[in-house]
Amino acid sequence: MFKDNIKFIYGSEFHQFCQELFYALSGALVLFVLLEIAKPQIVVAYLNISFWLLLWLLNGIILLMFKKKD
Amino acid sequence: MKNLSFRLKTRLILWSIITLTVFALVYLAVLPFGRITYNYHQNGHNLSGGKGFFGNFTPLDRIDTTGENLKIIGDSIYFSLFTPRRFEKAKMTIVYRGFDYESYPIIEAGVMVDPILRNYRTYPISNYILDRLSTEWKSKSEDGLLLLQKEKKYSDVNDLLTNPPKSEELAFYNYQHNFPYQIDGYQAQKSLISLPDLRGAYQFYTYIDNEDLNFSADFLDLNQNADKNGDPVQIYVYGNDQKALAEYSLPDDGNKNDDAKIGETRNISINIPDLAKGVYKVEVKINDDLVSQNIKTTQSKLSFISRVWVYNRSSASINIFTSGAFVKAKVNDPSGVGVITLNNEYLDILETYKQVTADFNNPQKVNNITVFRPETVLETSGVFAFSGDSLFNPDIKKIDSSTDSNGIKYIVAGYSAPVSLGIWKKANVEMDISDVYREKGQTNFMISIPGLLAENKIVGAEIQSIQIELTGKSLIQKIKEYVQR
| Nearest of B123, B186, B142, B252 to residue B394 by alpha carbon | B186
Q: In this model, does residue A20 exceed pLDDT 90?
A: yes
Residue of B nearest to A49 (CA): B50
Partner-chain contact B18 A44, CB within 8 Å? no
Sequence letter at residue B298 = T
Instruction: Give me the residue from A35, A40, A43 closest to B440, CB to CB.
Output: A40
Partner-chain contact B50 A47, CB within 8 Å? yes
Residues within 8 A of A (CB atoms), B 425-484 only: 440-441
State the pTM of this model: 0.81
Residues of chain A found within 8 Å of residue B21, distances taken between Cβ atoms: 28, 47
Instruction: Give me the residue from B18, B21, B51 closest to A45, CB to CB.
Output: B51
For residues B416-427, one letter each, b for 16 or more C-beta atoms within 10 angstroms of the residue's C-beta and e for the rest, the string is bbbeeeeebbeb
The shortest C-alpha distance from B14 to chain A (Å) reads 6
CB B286 within 8 Å of CB B219: yes
Q: Concatenated DSSP letters for B172-208?
A: EES---------TT-----S-EEE--EES-EEEEEEE
CB B382 within 8 Å of CB B344: no
pLDDT band per the 50, 70, 90 thresholds, residue A3: low
Residues of chain A found within 8 Å of residue B438, distances taken between Cβ atoms: none
Partner-chain contact B26 A35, CB within 8 Å? yes
The helix/strand/coil state of A57 is: helix
The helix/strand/coil state of A26 is: helix
Torsion from C-alpha of B28, B33, B35, B37, nearest 10 degrees: -40
Q: Residue B139 CA to chain centroid, in angstroms?
A: 28
Residues B223 and B259: their CA atoms lie apart, in Å, by 6
Partner-chain contact B6 A45, CB within 8 Å? no
The shortest C-alpha distance from A13 to chain B (Å) reads 7
Residues of chain A found within 8 Å of residue B18, distances taken between Cβ atoms: 24, 27-28, 31
Phi, psi angle pair for B479, to nearest 5°? -65, -45
CB B287 within 8 Å of CB B201: yes
Residue of A nearest to B27 (CA): A42
Cβ burial, residue B116 (10 Å; 0-12/13-18/19+): middle
CB B449 within 8 Å of CB B96: no
Residues whose CB falls within 8 Å of the CB of residue B371, separated by 6 or more in sequence, listed in order: B310, B312, B317, B318, B320, B340, B378
pLDDT band per the 50, 70, 90 thresholds, residue A67: confident
| Nearest of B362, B413, B357 to residue B381 by alpha carbon | B357
Q: In this model, does residue A8 exceed pLDDT 80?
A: no
Q: What is the pLDDT of residue A63?
A: 87
3-state secondary structure B241-305: CCCEEEEEEECCCCCCCCCCCCCCCEEEEEEECCCCCEEEEEEEECCCCEEEEEEEECCCCEEEE
ipTM of the complex: 0.86
Residues B301 and B322: their CA atoms lie apart, in Å, by 13
pLDDT values of chain B reduced to their tens digit, one per residue, 485 residues: 667 888 899 999 999 999 999 999 999 988 999 999 999 988 776 666 677 889 889 999 999 988 889 999 998 899 999 998 899 999 999 999 998 888 899 999 999 998 877 889 999 999 999 999 999 999 999 888 999 999 889 999 999 999 999 888 999 999 988 888 888 888 888 889 999 999 999 999 999 998 999 999 999 999 888 877 788 999 999 987 778 999 999 988 787 778 888 888 899 999 999 999 999 999 999 989 999 999 999 999 999 999 999 998 888 899 999 988 888 999 988 988 989 999 888 999 988 988 888 888 877 889 999 999 999 999 988 899 999 999 999 988 888 877 777 789 999 999 999 999 989 999 999 999 998 999 888 999 999 998 888 888 889 999 999 999 999 999 999 899 889 88
Residue of A nearest to B16 (CA): A24
Q: What is the pLDDT of residue A4?
A: 56
pLDDT band per the 50, 70, 90 thresholds, residue A59: very high
pLDDT band per the 50, 70, 90 thresholds, residue A5: low
Strands B410-413 and B170-173: parallel
Partner-chain contact B22 A23, CB within 8 Å? no
Partner-chain contact A42 B51, CB within 8 Å? no
Q: Does B7 touch chain A (CB under 8 A)?
A: yes
Q: What is the pLDDT of residue A32?
A: 93
Start-end of H helices in chain A: 2-5, 13-38, 42-46, 49-69
Instruction: Give me the residue from A24, A43, A46 closest to B18, CB to CB.
Output: A24
H or E, element range at B219: strand B213-221
Query: Would the CA dihedral through B78, B84, B85, B87 be positive or negative?
Result: negative
Mutate to test the interface with B, among A35, A41, A44, A52 (most CBs of B within 10 A): A41
Q: Does B67 touch chain A (CB under 8 A)?
A: no
Strands B170-173 and B397-398: parallel
Residues B274 and B210: their CA atoms lie apart, in Å, by 8
Residues whose CB falls within 8 Å of the CB of residue B457, separated by 6 or more in sequence, listed in order: B73
**Angle CA(A45)–CA(A49)–CA(A54) in degrees, nearest 5?**
155
Helices B6-30 and A13-38, axial angle in degrees (round to 10):
20
Q: Concatenated DSSP letters for B396-460?
A: PEE--TT---TT--EEEE---PPEEETTEEEEEEEEE-TT--EETTEEEEEEE-TT--GGGT---
Instruction: Give me the residue from A39, A40, A46 closest to B50, CB to CB.
Output: A46
Q: What is the pLDDT of residue B25?
A: 92
Residue of A nearest to B442 (CA): A41
**Sheet containing B397-398: which strands, arranged edge to edge?**
B138-142, B145-149, B410-413, B170-173, B397-398
Mutate to test the interface with A, among B4, B9, B17, B18 (most CBs of A within 10 A): B18
In whole numbers, what is the pLDDT of chain A averaged over residues? 84
CA distances from B263 to B155, B158, B284, B286 (A): 59, 53, 19, 15
Q: Does B26 touch chain A (CB under 8 A)?
A: yes
Residues B331 and B317: their CA atoms lie apart, in Å, by 15
Residues whose CB falls within 8 Å of the CB of residue B300, separated by 6 or more in sequence, listed in order: B187, B188, B189, B193, B207, B389, B390
Residues whose CB falls within 8 Å of the CB of residue B9, separated by 6 or more in sequence, listed in order: B1
